[in-house]
Chain A
Amino acid sequence: MQYLLMIYGDEGGWEKMTPEEQQRGGAAYIAYTQALVAAGVLKGSNRLRPTSTATTVRAKDGKTQVLDGPYADTKEQLGGYYLIDVPDLDAALSWAGRCPAVGHGAVEVRAVWPM
Chain B
Amino acid sequence: MLTAEECDALAQSTADAVARRSYGKLIAFLSALTHDVAAAEDALSEAFAAALTDWPRNGSPESPEAWLLTVARRKFIDALRRSQKLDPDADVLSIGVIPDEACSEEIPDRRLALLFTCAHPAIEVAIRAPLMLQVILGLDAKAIASAFLMSPAAMGKRLVRAKEKIRQAGIPFRVPERSELPERLDAVLEAIYAAFAEGWSDAAGTDAARRDLTAEALFLASLVAEMLPNEPEALGLTALMLHSEARWRARRSQGGDYVPLAQQDCELWDWAKINRAEALLKNAASMGAIGRYQLEAAIQSAHVDRRWSGRSNWNEVVRLYDALIAITGSPVVAVNRALAVAETQGPVAGLEAMPNAAEDQRLAAYQPYWAARAELLARAGTTDEARRSLEIAIGLASDPAVRRFLEQRRTSVAAGASEEP
Q: Mark B144-159, 1 if CB is under 8 A from A, else 0.
A: 0000000000000000
Q: Which of B118-158 contact A (CB under 8 A)?
A: 120-122
Q: Does A13 contact B (CB under 8 A)?
A: no
Which residues of chain B have C-beta atoms less than 8 A from A90's C-beta?
171-172, 176
Q: Does A93 contact B (CB under 8 A)?
A: yes
Complex CA–CA separation, A10 to B121 (angstroms): 26
Complex CA–CA separation, A56 to B149 (angstroms): 45
Q: Does B2 contact A (CB under 8 A)?
A: no
Minimum CB–CB distance from A106 to chain B (whole Å) comes to 15
Which residues of chain A have C-beta atoms less than 8 A from B58's C-beta?
none
Which residues of chain A have C-beta atoms less than 8 A from B168's C-beta?
111, 113
Minimum CB–CB distance from A81 to chain B (whole Å) comes to 17
Query: Closest residue to B180 on the A side, CB-wise?
Result: A90
Minimum CB–CB distance from A76 to chain B (whole Å) comes to 21
Which residues of chain A have C-beta atoms less than 8 A from B288's C-beta?
none
Minimum CB–CB distance from B110 to chain A (whole Å) comes to 15
Q: Which of B148-194 contact A (CB under 8 A)?
A: 168-172, 176
Q: Are A1 and B170 touching (Cβ within 8 A)?
A: yes
Minimum CB–CB distance from B339 to chain A (whole Å) comes to 43
Q: Are A111 and B169 touching (Cβ within 8 A)?
A: yes
Complex CA–CA separation, A83 to B165 (angstroms): 20
Residue picked from A3, A87, A89, A111, most chain B C-beta under 10 Å: A89
Q: Does A68 contact B (CB under 8 A)?
A: no
A-B contact count (CB 8 A): 24
Interface size on B, residues (CB 8 A): 9
Q: Does A107 contact B (CB under 8 A)?
A: no
Q: Are B122 and A88 touching (Cβ within 8 A)?
A: no
Residue picked from B122, B169, B171, B176, most chain A C-beta under 10 Å: B169
Q: Does A92 contact B (CB under 8 A)?
A: yes
Query: Closest residue to B173 on the A side, CB-wise?
Result: A88
Complex CA–CA separation, A110 to B170 (angstroms): 10
Complex CA–CA separation, A93 to B176 (angstroms): 14
Which residues of chain B have C-beta atoms less than 8 A from A111's C-beta?
168-170
Complex CA–CA separation, A88 to B170 (angstroms): 5
Minimum CB–CB distance from A97 to chain B (whole Å) comes to 11
Residue picked from B121, B122, B170, B171, most chain A C-beta under 10 Å: B170
Q: Mark A73-92, 1 if CB is under 8 A from B, else 0.
A: 00000000000000111101
Q: Which of A16-39 contact B (CB under 8 A)?
A: none
Which residues of chain A have C-beta atoms less than 8 A from B172's C-beta?
87-90
Minimum CB–CB distance from A107 to chain B (whole Å) comes to 13
Which residues of chain A have C-beta atoms less than 8 A from B169's C-beta?
89, 109-111
Minimum CB–CB distance from B7 to chain A (whole Å) comes to 45
Query: Closest residue to A110 on the B side, CB-wise?
Result: B169
Complex CA–CA separation, A36 to B98 (angstroms): 32
Query: Closest residue to A90 on the B side, CB-wise?
Result: B172
Which residues of chain A have C-beta atoms less than 8 A from B170's C-beta?
1, 3, 88-89, 92, 111
Complex CA–CA separation, A88 to B120 (angstroms): 12
Minimum CB–CB distance from B275 to chain A (whole Å) comes to 39
Complex CA–CA separation, A113 to B169 (angstroms): 9
Which residues of chain A have C-beta atoms less than 8 A from B171's C-beta?
88-90
Query: Closest residue to A2 on the B side, CB-wise?
Result: B170
Query: Closest residue to B176 on the A side, CB-wise?
Result: A90
Complex CA–CA separation, A43 to B263 (angstroms): 68
Minimum CB–CB distance from A98 to chain B (whole Å) comes to 14
Which residues of chain A have C-beta atoms less than 8 A from B122's C-beta?
89, 93
Q: Mark B250-270, 1 if CB is under 8 A from A, else 0.
A: 000000000000000000000
Query: Closest residue to A109 on the B side, CB-wise?
Result: B169
Query: Closest residue to A3 on the B side, CB-wise?
Result: B170
Which residues of chain A have C-beta atoms less than 8 A from B121's C-beta?
93
Complex CA–CA separation, A88 to B177 (angstroms): 14
Complex CA–CA separation, A89 to B120 (angstroms): 10
Complex CA–CA separation, A111 to B171 (angstroms): 10
Which residues of chain B have C-beta atoms less than 8 A from A87's C-beta?
172
Q: Mark A31-65, 1 if CB is under 8 A from B, else 0.
A: 00000000000000000000000000000000000
Name 6 extra pairs, CB < 8 A, besides A90-B172, A111-B170.
Answer: A87-B172, A89-B120, A89-B171, A92-B170, A110-B169, A111-B168
Chain B interfacial positions (CB closer than 8 Å to A): 120-122, 168-172, 176
Task: Jot down 17 A-B pairs with beta carbons below 8 A, ordered by A.
Answer: A1-B170, A3-B170, A88-B170, A88-B171, A89-B120, A89-B122, A89-B169, A89-B170, A89-B171, A89-B172, A90-B171, A90-B176, A92-B170, A110-B169, A111-B168, A111-B170, A113-B168
Q: Which 4 A-B pairs have the closest CB atoms?
A: A88-B172, A1-B170, A89-B170, A88-B170
